Amino acid sequence: MGKVWFVGAGPGDPDLMTVKGRDLITKADAILFAGSLVSLAATRWAPAHCEIQDSKGMDLEQIIGWLIDKAQAGQSVIRLQTGDPGLYGALIEMVQPLDQAGIEVEVVPGVSSAMASAATAVESLTLPEITQTVILTRVEGRTPMPEGESLTELAQHHATLCIYLSITLLEKVESELLAAGWSQEAPILVVHKASWPDEERIIRGTLANIRERCKAEKINSQAMIIVSPTLGARQWPSMKKSKLYDKNFSHRFRCAAKERSA
Could you confirm whether domain 3-108 is CATH 3.40.50.410? no
pLDDT band at 262 (very low <50, low <70, confident <90, very high): low
Instruction: Write out pLDDT tens, residues 59-111.
Output: 999 999 999 999 999 999 999 999 999 999 899 999 999 999 999 999 999 99
Q: Give dist(CA 81, CA 10) in Å, integer.
A: 8
For position 239, what pLDDT does the model report? 86
Q: Is the CB of residue 189 less than 8 Å from the CB of residue 225?
A: yes
With b for 16 or more beta-carbon neighbours within 10 A and e for fewer, the 35-69 pattern comes to bebbbeebbebbeeebebeebeebeeeebbebbbe
Q: Give dist(CA 67, CA 65) in Å, integer.
A: 6
174 burial class (0-12, 13-18, 19+ CB within 10 angstroms)? buried
Residues paired with 201 in a beta bridge: 192
Q: Which residues contact 64 (CB under 8 A, 6 or more apart)?
A: 94, 97, 98
Q: Which residues contact 32 (CB under 8 A, 6 or more apart)?
A: 53, 55, 63, 66, 67, 77, 78, 79, 80
Q: Is the pLDDT of residue 157 over 90?
A: yes
pLDDT band at 142 (very low <50, low <70, confident <90, very high): confident
pLDDT band at 246 (very low <50, low <70, confident <90, very high): confident
3-state secondary structure of 128: coil
In whole angstroms, how far apart are CA 67 and each of 4, 64, 101, 158, 205? 7, 5, 11, 42, 43
Query: For 113-235, CATH number?
Result: 3.30.950.10
118 burial class (0-12, 13-18, 19+ CB within 10 angstroms)? buried
For position 136, what pLDDT does the model report? 98
For position 39, what pLDDT does the model report? 84
The whole-model pTM stands at 0.91
In the chain, CATH 3.30.950.10 sits at 113-235
Q: Which residues contact 212 (CB under 8 A, 6 or more apart)?
A: none
The CB density around residue 122, as the number of other CB atoms within 10 Å, is 9
Q: Give dist(CA 162, CA 240) in Å, integer.
A: 23
